[in-house]
Amino acid sequence: MASSLRSFANALLYMIMLMATELGTNTIMVAAEARMCSRPSYKFKGPCIQEKNCASICLTEGFPKGDCKGIMRRCYCVKPC
């Protein structure tokens, strides 16, 4: 009798834990990301091979970030809108 009561209690505990984790996955808050605006760099010349170089040129143009994009590998300066 005590063995069946113990296994019932274990099963009940397992179900409660399972339900608690299922409820937790539905209430996850997602942080909103800011929109990013980009434009081609005016000062960067040639193909953009290293994003580090693009980012340093974009800093001189007043943008916090630079990305190499597209098939032609152009440098685009990026900032929050």
Distance (Å, whole) CA 80 – CA 1: 66
Residue 52: which CATH number? 3.30.30.10
Give pLDDT tens digits for 2-42: 667 777 777 766 776 656 555 555 555 556 677 889 999 99
54: in domain? yes
37 Cβ contact partners less than 8 Å away, ≥ 6 residues apart: 78, 79, 80, 81
75 domain-assigned: yes
Q: Is residue 50 part of a domain?
A: yes
The answer to whether 42 and 8 are in contact (CB under 8 A) is no
- Domain with 42 in it: 36-80
Q: What is the DSSP string of 22-42?
A: HHHHHT---PPPPPEEEEE-S
The predicted pLDDT at position 45 comes to: 93
Residue 58 has pLDDT above 70, yes or no: yes
Looking at the 3D structure of the chain, how many domains does it have? 1
